[in-house]
Structure 1
Amino acid sequence: MPRTPKSKRPVDPLEHDHTPEAIAARLAEARKPDDLGDFVLGAVDGAITTFAIVAGVAGSGLSAGVAIVLGLANVLADGFSMAVGNYLKTKSDHDMLNRYRRLEQRHIAQHPDGEREEIRQIYAAKGFEGDALDHAVETITSDQQQWVDTMLREEFGLPTSPPAPRRAATITFIAFVTAGMAPIVPLVFSRSLGPDVTFGLSVGVTLLTFAGIGAVRGRVTQMSQLRGAVETMLIGGSAAALAYAVGRLLRSLAGG
């Protein structure tokens, strides 16, 4: 009687091949800048701030038209502002990296023995000694690019491949606008569905947006997508609930 083939065990995403080719490809991929932080930052902030306006308007009893106008203004203005802020931040990272790179290049040109001793002490602290230590120092200091990059990482703790400013800004803006539009879309149907149903749809769409962001985060970071979705929903939902509560409070204070 033929045996039933055993089901394959799910592959742990943290496990990988250890062939020379696979290792080289993996290390090359690891050196590329990571766009996840820019995406999550823009998307979560876009969804939260826009829904905060929708919830605040709903809580204060204002019309859906007001929420649409304020929400669209927020998506474009705040999205651009956040993109510019991220651009300036990443550009500052590049400027700082270039400044320290020039500093190390000057030190190597003027004080090569002292800089070589720094490399020696760095690798001695990692456990290298004897001939192995001598060989490591000789290998690194024989290539000035590698020498400088090693000093930037080990002495100053600087990443040698920070994200490109324009790319970081673009990803932040697109993520902010895309996620920020989600809470607004249901408001278009307010006249036919009524304000209560529309607001309920906006809540649902926003929570689904948070879940999607969290799932992407979980997939990229190799954590549980369900966990990422739940965490992001809880954090984003808490901010949205706070915005709605503030709107209700302001409405009651205004005698609405």
Structure 2
Amino acid sequence: MEKGSAMENLEHGHSQKEIRDRLAQAPSQNYLRDWIYGGIDGVVTTFAIVSGVVGGQLSSLVILILGFANLLADGFSMAASNYLGTKSEVDQFQRYKTIEEKHIAFIPEGEKNEIKQIFQNKGLHGQTLDQVVEEITANRALWIKTMLQEEYGLPATLRFPLKSALYTFSAFLLFGIIPLIPYVLVMSNSFIWSCFFTAITFFVIGSIKSHWSTKSWLYSGFETLIIGTVTASLSYGIGLFLHYFLT
């Protein structure tokens, strides 16, 4: 009974058709890192400004001005940095691909020996090893792909730099504006509401993140909440300290 229940909870099926259909699909680019990165940083930096301004006992108008200025400027800065970082990964991939294409063209036997050593280190020997080497090196595209992954440790798929930047920027804006909502709506006890909204946002982002990890949604939610709370508390404390130190 337990085995049957566990089988039902597997992530995908293992019939011949299911395996064939799944492997026939090209690996998709995963932009979760960009989304989480932008979302968490958006909430943290915006709420840090709110906390710092409140700790410094400045007005709500200052919170709105600094908050929205940060939202746009820092969001764009993060997106631009992520674009350049992702583009560097793509450029690196293309560079190594060009190198391998040249080596295969001019010194094929040397590259063939590299393939042999790679799979020898994986435990293949004798006729099986020779057959694997022949099959891989008979297909130029597969040969290059294998070298890129095995020799340089490069991923099978690459993210598009522009998409990475857009995911980061949109997540930064979407979640970063949440700590400012109580001040935009001129709610009473705005800072308390901002703390509440921010805490919920931290927890939600962490819970969503758990779908791509082995941690439970509850653990991941509280983990993100604690990290965000520590950051915000430091900002509030610095603002409070500077207020009493400078006035």
Quick check: TM above 0.5? Answer: yes
C-alpha RMSD of matched pairs (Å):
1.8
Aligned residues: 244
Question: What letter is aligned with 1:253?
Answer: F
Structure 1 residue 20: Cα displacement: 2.5
Distance 1:189 1:10, change over 3 A: farther
Structure 1 residue 188: Cα displacement: 2.1
| Residue 171 of structure 2, aligned match among 162, 168, 175 | 175
| Residue 119 of structure 2, aligned match among 123, 133, 137 | 123
1:14 touches 1:222 (CA, 8 Å); kept in 2? no
- Partners of 2:241 and 2:6 in 1: how far apart? 50
| Residue 203 of structure 1, aligned match among 188, 195, 204 | 195
- Partners of 2:14 and 2:175 in 1: how far apart? 39
Matching of residue 86 in structure 1 with residue 99 in structure 2: no
Structure 1 residue 132: Cα displacement: 1.0
Structure 1 residue 10: Cα displacement: 7.4
| Residue 215 of structure 1, aligned match among 207, 215, 231 | 207
Q: Secondary structure at the match of 2:143?
A: helix
Q: Secondary structure at the match of 2:157?
A: coil
Question: What letter is aligned with 1:95?
Answer: D
Question: What letter is aligned with 2:178?
Answer: A
Distance 1:10 1:66, change over 3 A: farther
Question: What letter is aligned with 1:236?
Answer: G
1:1-256 alignment, distance < 5 Å: 9=5, 15-27=11-23, 31-190=27-186, 193=188, 197-255=189-247
Structure 1 residue 69: Cα displacement: 0.9
TM-score, reference length from structure 2: 0.93
- Partners of 2:24 and 2:76 in 1: how far apart? 32
- Partners of 1:29 and 1:60 in 2: how far apart? 55
Structure 1 residue 33: Cα displacement: 1.8
Structure 1 residue 73: Cα displacement: 0.6
Give unpaired runs (5+ residues) of structure 2: none
1:13 touches 1:222 (CA, 8 Å); kept in 2? no
Distance 1:14 1:246, change over 3 A: farther
Structure 1 residue 24: Cα displacement: 3.9
Question: What letter is aligned with 1:221?
Answer: S
Runs of 4+ more than 6 Å apart: none
Give unpaired runs (5+ residues) of structure 1: 1-7
CA displacement 1:205-242 (0-9 Å, x = unmatched):
01111111101100133531111111100111110111
Distance 1:96 1:13, change over 3 A: farther
Structure 1 residue 159: Cα displacement: 1.3
